[in-house]
């Protein structure tokens, strides 16, 4: 799914440019969002939550980057556009019956000269 997210997210240039201007480099940047997959496998109702940073690729915790709060609408629209590029999903099953499900996810990328080896 990461490749689908990367290909479909239209705000990378804006996000990376702002991180570099603000000095947030040599770290992983995470974009958190959610959406619903209905019983037919159609994705809808995208929600952008936050952008965070962490020094470790596999860290469970990351710190919110507050200067992105003012751009929430831009990133909400970008998540919405990304969702429209996604293929149909297999719906969740409950006792063998297709049901709607909420998917909460994030994608991350390294900003810096050389990604650390972990």
Residues 6 or more apart whose Cβ sits within 8 Å of residue 62: 28, 30, 52, 53, 54
Domain extent listing, the chain: 2-111
pLDDT of 117 > 90? The answer is no
Burial (Cβ within 10 Å: 0-12, 13-18, ≥19) of residue 75: buried
Q: What is the reported pLDDT for 114?
A: 86
| Report field, pTM of the whole predicted structure over 0.95 | no
Could you give the percent of the chain with pLDDT greater than 90? 87
pLDDT of 30 > 90? The answer is yes
For tokens 């810096």, what's the residue? 112
CB 29 within 8 A of CB 111: yes
Q: What is the reported pLDDT for 47?
A: 98
More confident site: 34 or 117? 34
pLDDT of 118 > 80? The answer is no
């Amino acid at each position: 799914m990461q490749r689908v997210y990367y290909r479909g997210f239209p705000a990378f240039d804006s996000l990376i440019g702002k991180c570099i201007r603000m000095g947030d480099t040599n770290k992983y940047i995470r974009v958190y969002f959610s959406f619903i997959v209905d019983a037919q496998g159609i994705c809808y109702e995208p929600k952008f939550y936050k952008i965070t940073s962490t020094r470790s690729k596999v860290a469970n915790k990351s710190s919110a980057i507050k200067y992105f709060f003012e751009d929430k609408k831009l990133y909400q629209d970008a998540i919405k556009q990304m969702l429209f590029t996604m293929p149909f999903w297999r719906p969740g099953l409950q006792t063998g019956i297709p049901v709607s499900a909420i998917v909460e996810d994030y994608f991350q990328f390294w900003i810096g000269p050389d990604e650390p080896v972990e």
